[in-house]
Amino acid sequence: MAQTVVGVDIGNSTTEATAATIEPDGTVRFLGAALTSTTGIKGTTDNADGVAEAVARAFDAAGLRLAQLDVVLLNEATPVISGLAMETITETIITESTMIGHDPRTPGGRGLGVGVTVAFEELPRTPSGADIIVVIPKGVDFELAAHAINAACERGLKVTGAILGNDDAVLVVNRLAAVIPIIDEVSRIDAVPVGMLAAVEVAGPGQSIRTLSNAYGLATIFDLDAAATKVVSPVARALTGNRSAVVVRTPAGDVADRTIPVGSLALTGDRKRVAVDVSRGAVEIMAAVEMVSPLADVSGEAGTNTGGMIANVRQSMADLSGHALADVRIQDLLAVDTFVPQEVRGGVAGEVALENAVALAAMVRTRESGMRAVADAVRSRLRAAGADHVDVVVGGVEAEMAVLGALTTPGTDKPLVVLDLGGGSTDAATIEADGSIEAVHLAGAGDLVTRLIDAELGLGNVELAEEIKRFPLGKAESFFHVRLENGTVQFFEKPLPTTAFARVVTLGECAMNPIPTRHSMDRIRIVRRAAKERVFVVNALRALRAIAPGGDLRQIGFVVLLGGCALDFEIPELIADALAPYGIVCGTGNVRGTDGPRNAVATGLVASHAASPPAGASVGA
Ligand code: ADP
Ligand code: MG
């Protein structure tokens, strides 16, 4: 009699189930598949709820009743879990209320103004002939401000720019006899020093400033020598890309861009030990990881931020897995350079500078997971749900099952490399023509991409970052059309929601979601793609080098992408582009010709069970 089975893959993020019947002669008929979020930590009995849900849904899709279920096939999950941490390594500090980089929403006028700062009430008493920048406190009406500037100019004073406390720049400019650049919304206007040389720059709509964002531009304006230019270069860097900016030069004031001593990482390999300073950045950290490979463990310098960061990763991994802290070993590390917008210390208008940061993803190998216990829990859970005679079988190494499943993709054959792009880890497995299989598990995958997007855009909202990761962008230019990020336009018959108007939105499957930030569509797109590249292109190359014969990528012919991130609308392209120079054929898997990059492990479990039902490995009645 035919056996009704379901293969189940419990991943860190997703539990996938594939239902099938197996005839006595071994013929397999696949009937339905489903997926659900993994409940609890992979490899613990909490997984049973998610498994039961996925099995029930797969059976529903297949038109089967749970009472018909004979066997559940679980994989021997790779005992790896992953953790993330991020540490800022630079800090911009302003002393003596030097003001930099304020970029209000609506600056007024345009051009570059250079002059000495003068308080608004001093304007009538200021001798004519001088070039000045007027500082206008909150509470001064725009009519009055414009009138006073016009009067001063008539007197022969050269007012080259203005700094406003109110949000009135455009209103003031509209009333001036001659256009000058004006910055507004300066919250601590009283802290702007007077009697100092200053520059105000406002670019035209859609453009960014050119002079104050150029170190030599600042040197020209403030007459700086080489040493002083070096000191102010962080100012220029912090202003890059702004539409408007103001810089005040105070004699003792300073803007410093300092590297925070964050401590070092000690990387222990099987044969070597190397220490690397985290503030040296990702390239040097990754070179050290490669130098000690294979990595056995990582620790951070005690009493430093790095020490704290690694201790946190370890502790959370220990908590998650229920292991003693001493049993937690970091066996792979991915470092990524990133930058996070942070309010500048000492600023007067909430100035923000992009600080350098390093993000670390760590992969921890734990003691063998307790799949027996999971199997027992799944069995009682399913029996209670009506699968009254079900057996649960644990068998099949995850990587081998993934390869078997991937090979059901049309157009594939051995030898083959599978890249499983999951949430916490990037896993690679290779099958040779003779059927031998090798696997590696690397830290860093979809969750790290989400975290990078969240940090670089300063969102503080991981759900929104996930949404930005998954969907293309658009901008609602009118109530009836959206400009898509590829430049084309989509029209709508019904008016768009008012919340979306003039906003950058994500174009989700069923809804358009406005992104509540000031970032342009272009900037969000660049951040999104760079995050994907720095995680997945880097990891794809690392993984393939680790399993290619002799580390030579040219020895690899075919790569099949699997896992949730293979569903992404651009990650597969980015990887394929990076692999093309090595003559590698790379594409997204299509398991059984129907399921795309999903269900490979579940399918592999069913196929391997049909080929050789494992004896004595079942948890029966
Ligand atoms: P695991 O095998 O570790 O359980 P998955 O294979 O389910 O993980 O992959 C999870 C990752 O895939 C997450 O980072 C998630 O954001 C991403 N992901 C899931 N679905 C999609 C999708 N439709 N488009 C892009 N990314 C997706
Ligand atoms: Mg997986």
Distance 428 CA to ligand 2 centre (A): 11
Sign of CA dihedral 404, 410, 414, 415: negative
Reported as a single tens digit per residue, the pLDDT across 586-608 is 999 999 999 999 999 999 999 99
Query: What DSSP element (H or E) covers 259?
Result: strand 254-259
472 lines ligand 1 (CB under 6 A): no
11 lines ligand 1 (CB under 6 A): yes
Q: What span, in angstroms and rounded, lies between the C-alpha atoms of 162 and 178?
A: 13
Asked whether residue 260 carries a pLDDT value surpassing 90, the answer given is no
Ion ligand 2 residue ranges (Cβ < 5 Å)? 11, 422
Using pLDDT thresholds of 50, 70 and 90, give the confidence band for residue 3: very high
Looking at the chain, the whole-number percentage of residues with pLDDT higher than 90 is 61
Selected residue with higher pLDDT from 327 and 421:
421
Q: Which two tokens stand for residue 93?
A: 């500090």
Please compute the mean of the pLDDT values over residues 320-342 and round it to a whole number.
85
470 lines ligand 1 (CB under 6 A): yes
Q: What is the pLDDT of residue 369?
A: 61
Q: What is the pLDDT of residue 258?
A: 63
Q: What is the pLDDT of residue 101?
A: 60
- The ligand 1 atom at the shortest distance from the C-alpha of residue 568 is 25
Cα of 304 vs its chain's centroid, Å: 25
Using pLDDT thresholds of 50, 70 and 90, give the confidence band for residue 617: very low
Reported as a single tens digit per residue, the pLDDT across 269-287 is 989 999 999 888 999 999 9
Contact, 79 vs 365, CB < 8 A?
Answer: yes
423 lines ligand 1 (CB under 6 A): yes
Asked whether residue 251 carries a pLDDT value surpassing 80, the answer given is no
Q: What angle do CA 451, 454, 455 make, to 5 degrees?
A: 85
Q: What is the pLDDT of residue 502?
A: 87
* Buried b / exposed e along 554-579 (16+ C-beta atoms within 10 A): eebebbbbbbbbbbbeebbebbbebb
347 lines ligand 1 (CB under 6 A): no
Reported as a single tens digit per residue, the pLDDT across 362-379 is 888 766 667 888 999 999
3-class secondary structure, 42: coil
Please compute the mean of the pLDDT values over residues 480-507 and round it to a whole number.
90
Mean of the per-residue pLDDT values of the chain:
89
Looking at the chain, the whole-number percentage of residues with pLDDT higher than 70 is 93
Name the pTM for this structure: 0.84
φ/ψ of residue 170, rounded to 5? -65, -40
Q: Alpha helix locations (H) across 293-425?
A: 305-321, 371-384, 398-406
Q: What span, in angstroms and rounded, lies between the C-alpha atoms of 195 and 250?
A: 9
Distance 589 CA to ligand 2 centre (A): 13
Fill in the amino acid letter for 618: S
Least confident piece of the model among 50-64, 131-145, 160-174, 334-348? 334-348
Cβ neighbours for 462, distance < 8 A, ≥ 6 positions apart:
450, 451, 454
Asked whether residue 256 carries a pLDDT value surpassing 70, the answer given is no
Burial degree of 126 (CB within 10 A; 0-12, 13-18, 19+)? middle
3-class secondary structure, 518: coil
Distance 445 CA to ligand 1 centre (A): 9
Asked whether residue 484 carries a pLDDT value surpassing 90, the answer given is yes
Q: What is the pLDDT of residue 96?
A: 45
Reported as a single tens digit per residue, the pLDDT across 420-479 is 999 989 999 999 989 899 999 999 999 999 999 999 999 999 999 999 999 999 999 988
Q: What is the pLDDT of residue 189?
A: 85
Please compute the mean of the pLDDT values over residues 556-560 and round it to a whole number.
93
596 lines ligand 1 (CB under 6 A): no
Contact, 211 vs 221, CB < 8 A?
Answer: yes
Q: What span, in angstroms and rounded, lies between the C-alpha atoms of 200 and 180?
A: 9
